[in-house]
Amino acid sequence: MSDVKSGQFATHRRGVWLGAASAAALLASGAAQAQTAQETTLGEVVVTATKRAESIQDVPQSVTAISAETLVTSGASEFSDYATTVPNLSFGYAGEGRQTSRQFQLRGIFGRDTSALYIGETAVPVTIDPRVIDLDRVEVLRGPQGSLFGSRSMGGLVRLIPTAPGAEQEVKLHATVANVEKGGQDYALDGTMNVPISDKAAFRATAYILKDAGYIDRIIDPDGSLLIRPLATSVVFPNGDERVHDDINKDTTYGIQAALRLKPTDALTLTPRVMYQKLKSDSPNLADSSVTNLAKIRQFDVDEIGRDTWWLAALEADLDVGVGTVTSSTSYFHRDTRDDEDATIFIASNLLAGRVRVALSAPSVTTEVSEQKRFAEEIRFVSKFEGRLQVIAGAFFQNIEEDGGFPATGSIIPGNSPLVTSPGLAAVGFRAGDNFFSLDTRTEQREFGLFGEVEYDLTEQLTATLGGRFFDLKADQYRADGGTLFTKFYRVFAGFPPPAPYSNSTKENGFNPKAAIRWEPSQDLTIYATAAKGFRPGQVNASKGACQALGVANVPDSVDSDSLWNYELGAKASLAGGRVTANAAVFHIDWKDRQTQTINCGLGFGASTNVGKVESEGFDAEVAFEPIDNLRFTGAVGYSDAKVTNTGGAAGVTLGDRLPNVPKWNGAAAVDYSHEFTDSIEGYGRIDYRYVGASISTLRRVRPAYELVNARLGVRYGDWDVSLFAQNLFDERANLADITPLSDSLQLVGVSRPRTIGLDLRTRF
């Protein structure tokens, strides 16, 4: 790096840290001047980010908590609905297909297994999207969580906390109907019941079904008059045989969840829980090339179906041993997915080596499937000692098995196709009905960990925390590539034999440390500093066999784990007699030897190595303000500057490159107001604003910045609640993903739902 660039980085870093120091000083000054409040007007928010229940204002790390009430009044039903409100949380797609490629990033740390998603105590794939039904809260932990939550949480994690069975009988019903701009109608129905069985047992169950309207159309062009393009012009030639299939991207999600809370003794609590969810999609929420293009032109009317089915069974046992609690968490997770994509354009245009044209007499469909099974067990002790010392200690085991790929029945060359009569293709042996490409992958990962943290009060105001996690990992992977791409086409033209099945293993162990210091000069102010290490497991370069078949010989068997250090300084304050809370943190992250795909083997195949260095630095801040009773303002802002500071000599990596799917800025603001007209009638309203800055996609295309505004106006009458809402009030077309297509033939972009206006009804009894 040049001296000039080094100076720029240093100057920028000093500015960020000076800004953080100034923010901390302002918070401290405000807290000193504010009257101490015994009960905060905004109410105490309790989280379990450190595996023990404590006020979010006392946790020495950057945490966002979204309450059940906020989830309801903001109209959140899926991940993207609440993710846009969290500082330095971004998301996008980082692979092929739509069911298993969505990723999210915290503080700019992008990549597979860099952030984690939990349901309660159980880690689940980050690519699933549990519907936000009957949750107590959502917790977002920024920064590495390696000491308490293990690998795959380098950037942080998101936790969905289900509502536990309670002692009071309750039944809740909720229904929604809404109209989507230039689309169809949304419908949703869910119900929850809580039944106390005795003073030692309670049962809680929820069931739901959500039907999301389509808003993308498919124009079917049987003879290709709209698809064929003369070389010198882009003029289309409609001839009257075209027809339109409206609103193709409808989907239905339904699920159930149930939990039982048992107290066989005063010291022992058992909570078994099951959850099930199934998504059925007629077509993805993906537009061609542009978010404003909500019509797809295709030769055939192919349903590009998507299926995502998962279930989770978990058992949590808590035993009070007097000096603390021993907790055992056992879980099993199972998931099946399927994605279909119309590959007609890919087969026709690529194999005929020409312009997009009609060349098939029947559609060609590419299918991707996956199956994942996870078993996990954690046992830990959380102390409640009298005195200055507190400890957390535990052990963890997890086994993940995953199978998937492209079945040999997909990606076909249709029968009676003129494609197989082409002289060049006939010469290499193509036949109607051939499978173009197939892939079979099998992976098993095993992880064992020992973890702990020691917290010690150095003085009444100063607390130190030291922790860490020892880990031992092993992974086995198998891959087999097939289809006429290798067995006929490439073998004849390039002279290479088909790739043999490839398998290999990788194993490693190590230690992740953490240290924090917390200063509480008053009960209204917490200032802290944290240093923590995060890592993610290495992986087998399973595509090595395909790369060798394509003549690329310098592919390593595997890549090593990579790790980072996060340095954080933060302050949390309660001001103005409890009417204001203000939390802010500044961070700097050093990420070395990042796992990066740097070897291009051709035909879309590649392999990874450990190269270079990435730095991410910035800040996140949140404020809540209640100037008068029943009026609340909330705001959040995040800034992450994540970029390559050392290329490691890797081809295609440039100094200063921004990491994919990471906007520098994001922010949100909301106003909530309620007013009691009588003892039984209350009116309320909410308007919220979200801003997501521009980012670079994994395909190195610009994803423009976007802004979303939502509004809700309602009335509560006794146990009834009715509201009118508008989601995406100004009908913004936001680019939510720049996705790699299964068939490599199109530029597909995820588009936000258009303006949706509807009616919401809730009751309880």
The 10s digit of each residue's pLDDT in 685-739 is 999 999 999 999 888 889 999 999 999 999 999 999 999 999 999 999 999 888 8
Q: Which of 145-154, 257-266, 294-303 has the highest mean pLDDT?
A: 257-266
Looking at residue 483, what is its pLDDT?
A: 85
Distance between CA atoms of residues 411 and 676, nearest Å: 61
* Token code pair at residue 354: 């020409």
Which pLDDT score is estimated for 261? 97
Q: Specify whether the backbone of 156 is left (phi greater than 0), alpha (psi in -120 to 50) or beta.
A: left
Could you tell me which residues are beta bridge partners of residue 447? 398, 473
Pairing of strands 681-692, 706-717: antiparallel
Q: How confident is the model at residue 522 (pLDDT cuts 50, 70, 90)?
A: very high
Residue 455 scores a pLDDT above 60: yes
Q: Tell me: pLDDT of 223 over 80.
A: no
Each residue of 655-666: pLDDT tens digit? Answer: 899 999 999 999
Average pLDDT over residues 41-64: 88
- Mean pLDDT of the chain, nearest integer: 87
Please report which confidence band the pLDDT of residue 627 belongs to, taking 50, 70 and 90 as the band edges: very high
Give CA 76 to chain center in angstroms.
15
What confidence score (pLDDT) does residue 586 get?
98
Mean pLDDT of 286-293: 89
What is the structure's pLDDT at 434? 80
7 pLDDT exceeds 60?
no
Please compute Rg for the chain using Cα positions: 27
- For 706, the token pair is 């976007």
Which of 197-206, 231-240, 298-307, 458-467 is predicted least confidently?
231-240
Query: pLDDT confidence of 93, banded at 50, 70, 90?
Result: confident
Q: What share of the chain is helix, strand, coil (3-state, %, to 5)?
A: 10, 55, 35
C-alpha–C-alpha distance, residues 48 and 55, integer Å: 9
Helices (H) and strands (E) in the chain, counts: 9, 41
Q: Strand ranges (DSSP E) for 560-604? A: 562-575, 580-602
Q: Which residue has the higher pLDDT, 417 or 448?
A: 448
Residue with tokens 């339904």: 254
**Residue of higher predicted confidence among 535 and 358:** 535
Whether the Cβ atoms of residue 450 and residue 472 lie closer than 8 Å to each other: no
Lowest model confidence (mean pLDDT) among 119-133, 330-344, 364-378, 597-611: 597-611
Q: What is the pLDDT of residue 418?
A: 62
**Is 227 in contact with 238 (CB distance < 8 Å)?**
no
Give the H or E element holding residue 29.
helix 3-33
Lowest mean pLDDT among 90-94, 181-185, 306-310: 90-94
Whether the pLDDT of residue 521 is over 70: the answer is yes
The continuous run of DSSP H or E covering 3 comes out as helix 3-33
Phi and psi at residue 520, in whole multiples of 5°?
-120, 85
Decide if pLDDT at 38 tops 80.
Answer: no
CB-count exposure of residue 663 (10 Å: 0-12, 13-18, 19+):
buried
Phi-psi region of 143 (alpha: psi -120 to 50; beta: other; left: phi over 0): left
Half-sphere CA count of 434, side-chain side, radius 13 A: 21
Q: What single-letter amino acid sits at 206?
A: T
- Answer yes or no: is pLDDT of 1 > 60: no
Tens of pLDDT, residues 132-183:
999 999 999 999 998 899 878 999 999 999 999 999 999 999 999 999 999 9
The pLDDT score that the predictor gives to residue 433 is: 77
Structure tokens at 171: 């039944």
Q: Is the pLDDT of residue 127 over 60?
A: yes
Q: Which of the residue ranges 155-159, 206-210, 522-526, 554-558 would you say has the lowest mean pLDDT?
A: 554-558
CA neighbours within 13 Å on the CB side: how many for 352? 20
Cα 543 to the center of its chain, rounded Å: 25
C-alpha closest to that of 664 among 623, 620, 613, 634: 620
Of the pLDDT bands very low, low, confident and very high (cuts 50, 70, 90), residue 21 is very low
Q: Which of 172-181, 371-380, 549-558, 563-572 has the lowest mean pLDDT?
A: 549-558
Least confident range from 11-20, 336-345, 612-621: namely 11-20
pLDDT at 357: 54
User: Mean pLDDT, to the nearest integer, of 174-200?
Assistant: 96
Residue 389 confidence (pLDDT): 96
Cα distance between residue 235 and residue 288, in whole Å: 18
How much is the average pLDDT of 285-295?
Answer: 89
Best CA proximity match to 652, nearest among 609, 693, 603, 617: 609
- Say if residues 573 and 27 touch (Cβ distance below 8 Å): yes
What is the CA angle 291-295-300, rounded to 5? Answer: 135
How many C-beta atoms lie closer than 10 Å to residue 292's C-beta? 9
Tell me the pLDDT band of 35, cut-offs 50, 70 and 90: very low
Percent of the chain topping pLDDT 70 = 89
Q: Looking at residues 77-91, what average pLDDT do you find?
A: 94
Lowest average pLDDT, out of 297-306, 317-326, 455-464, 487-496, goes to 487-496
Q: Where are the beta strands (DSSP E) in 147-214?
A: 156-162, 170-180, 185-198, 201-212
Of the pLDDT bands very low, low, confident and very high (cuts 50, 70, 90), residue 605 is: confident
Residue with tokens 């936001």: 734
Kindly give the residue spans of alpha helices, DSSP state H, lying in 525-664: 544-549
Minimal CA–CA distance to 592: which of 609, 611, 573, 607?
611
Residue 66 confidence (pLDDT): 95
Question: Which pLDDT belongs to residue 237?
Answer: 59
List the single range of 148-152, 626-630, 635-639 with lowest mean pLDDT: 148-152
CB-CB contact of 155 with 105 (8 Å): yes
Query: Residue 164 belongs to what H/E stretch?
Result: none
- Rounded to whole angstroms, the Cα distance separating 519 from 587 reads 18
Lowest mean pLDDT among 7-21, 358-372, 404-418, 625-639: 7-21
- Give the separation between CA 209 and CA 176, rounded to whole angstroms: 11
What gap in Å lies between CA 278 and CA 208, rounded to an integer?
Answer: 11
Cα 255 → chain centroid = 20
154 neighbors 143 (Cβ within 8 angstroms):
no
DSSP element (H, E) containing 6? helix 3-33
Instruction: Tell me which of 599 and 13 has the higher pLDDT.
Output: 599
